[in-house]
Structure 1
């Protein structure tokens, strides 16, 4: 049985469907593969006198002149979603919108992947800690076991232990999905694409590899500023690999955290499975409209300018941290919009998790500046994760750390 509704013409636009041993139909849960997707009213007709969907013909209960009055909020969202899918596809250089899925933030994408491709109580996912916590949370919700293969953490490298990952995949056929975070959270470190390819090419591994790229635009802009030509995003692998899914979001580089719009890029059969399974109208009209505006030429230019400004502020913050005697190394590759900095027990001393917790709580409770305590994470002893703010916010952060670590 093939995937219902898949666009064969879009599939043909892929340059290859590697690896040869991968068969998607063997990974999709049988009940999902056989699913008859819910057909929405707007899938058939979008115009005319619409008396088909039990909508409120009187209009939305909002004050006249509302900013979104023209969006017809009393109607269910138009499947075109203001061309947000088409614009995201074009931005990432893929050949057809059938390669792009839109979700309610990356968290819906993560959850939906697990629901589609891992059987509750039978299958497993593999993660590489320290990493984003929602992979495990979603797995627990979906009754899926978690296999952990830690990153190489020595000297703040936070790189993939590729041989151990491959060994784990060969040893356990119940692993159906691998989650790789690049740039990592909380590590801020980009994973080289050749490491990702090695995992994708693992002989006898029949499952999927998800590369979570929430912070990828910061790494890409960093590469561009160095005049590098090599691709940094795993979206470049979607053209050839049938077993890769690349998750992204508009929350970080595009500054739309409040909109909650995530993306997944994969070859059309995978995207179609996810579309067949998702809830009807999962993307609201306001979210689609705002995403479409940000994915316009002007929006993308604004995003890149903002990213460059944040990279400048990140460099400035790092330089200031290096002058604080009891602040240790900034770990990782610094490929995101945050830094992971050690708090030492004394100038020139060792990372101190208790002192890091004290500094974090003092700043948050008594000084009104909130960072993230990550000292309990593997390889992150004594570490605070500091998001890059405005110049004024960074100045305040530097002043407080200088005082509290004196």
Structure 2
């Protein structure tokens, strides 16, 4: 069934229910916000942020992952049902995860065999078991934990929303369930700090935070996805407000000044149910506020939107590229801050170059990029397209 455009200034409850079944178009503010978000992801893994886990690290981590789950909620649509949705998202999220990490594992095994190293045998088995387990502690490139987890969290969010909307059109119930999920997730996050005996026996000694694919994080991440779904229209139509930016920035700064709380979902850290959630909420608002301003100027809009469109490749490759560049620069330059800035720019630039190469090379495109559906293009939360 095709629904007509809804011109209401304040959408009805029925409108939110229908949105699960309707495809939507792109929006510059969202693309710019995504570009800002992925920049902070790279900066959060840069020496400027990671050495001694300074205040910059705490500030970035307090909102940058909640921002991406919120953005994912804005794009949460299943016009052809949950199964088709899952197939589409498998192409945009799971396919690059398995292709990249499998290729990396094969290269590591070949290198070990040719060089006579010790990564063959059991360690090879451990590598691929870790790949299937799919958390930051069990995979080679830590940042990729986000991909399989986003996949299952999106599906869980869809099921939750459809279940609620089958019973009631009242948004209050959706908000209540999202808050309940967030509370459950925060209260139980410490339960997943210790390795299970099975994981340790299969993958050797080490930390194995969380359940496979970060399933233990679903209550937290799905709550941010659901709020993104609920606030999609206001977020897309957001107009810049200087008082709103000042107030939200003031609250954000005050929270970080008086408290030392942050969020690190990969490390299973959610320091405070109230403070950390307020930091995440104000950080998301600040990002959208700045994006709504910058999208009016092509000088800022075009590069940031381009970054947002290349989010997937930046997420996948920035860690390796940034680390290697920083290590190499240390041998030729004693200026750590300059080295950090150069390695950050290098990792983003090369990731985007790899993305452009993949778009132009047939087999790389099939292996790493979501394939366009025949009828229409539905853009996903990482800037690609999925059916």
The TM tier, using the shorter chain, reads under 0.3
More helix per residue: 1 or 2? 2
Superposition TM-score, scaled by structure 1 size: 0.23
Q: Which structure is higher in RCO with an 8 Å CA cutoff and minimum separation 6?
A: 2
Superposition TM-score, scaled by structure 2 size: 0.24
More strand per residue: 1 or 2? 1
